[in-house]
A = this chain, B = another copy of it.
Amino acid sequence: MTSLLREQTHDLLETYGRLLDEDRLEDWVELFAENCRYEIISRENREQNLPLSLMLCDNKDMLRDRIFSLREANIFNIHRDCHVIGLARVSEDAGITATAPYALFQSNQEGDSRLFSVGRYHLDLLQDGDTLRIVKQVVVVDTGAIPTLLATPI
């Protein structure tokens, strides 16, 4: 595997976390390919092959709708995200894939921070010119007991 692909994947994951942390959700959607799938699933359901997701968008328009409804309609607790993404593994064995653990901390309007979710990203990636795009992302969460409505992406 080339060092370039490592750097590109690093940059994609860095951008992924930063855009969510900065509440730039519309820009975050643009990290995905047009034909994409984004799914959040508990580790328990994943291991037992149960289909139940915590969030599922199976194309980019669904992701756009989701963000639009977050902006316009949904009521949820206002918070700030901080994604700390750990060491990533990149592979080219069957297309470009990557995986990395994450810890997501949320802070509320009073400035109290708490551990919100830990788990692991699994990504299928596609070269699109100089850019890597996400074709498929499965967020496998260890934290099943989401203490408030899971509104924003992880």
Contacts and interface: CB of A to CB of B under 8 A. Distances in A.
A114 B114 CA distance: 10
Contacts of A89: 11, 14-15, 18
A44 to B, nearest CB: 8
A145 B111 contact: yes
A69 to B, nearest CB: 24
Contacts of A18: 89, 99, 101
Contacts of A118: 82, 84, 105, 107, 113
Interface of A: 3, 6-7, 10-11, 13-15, 17-18, 21, 42-44, 80, 82-89, 99, 101-103, 105, 107, 110-115, 117-120, 142-145
Given A82-B142, A103-B103, A113-B117, 6 more contacts: A14-B87, A14-B88, A21-B101, A84-B84, A107-B144, A114-B115
17 contacts: A3-B7, A10-B87, A11-B89, A17-B101, A18-B101, A44-B111, A80-B142, A82-B119, A82-B142, A84-B86, A84-B101, A84-B102, A103-B103, A105-B115, A111-B142, A111-B143, A113-B115
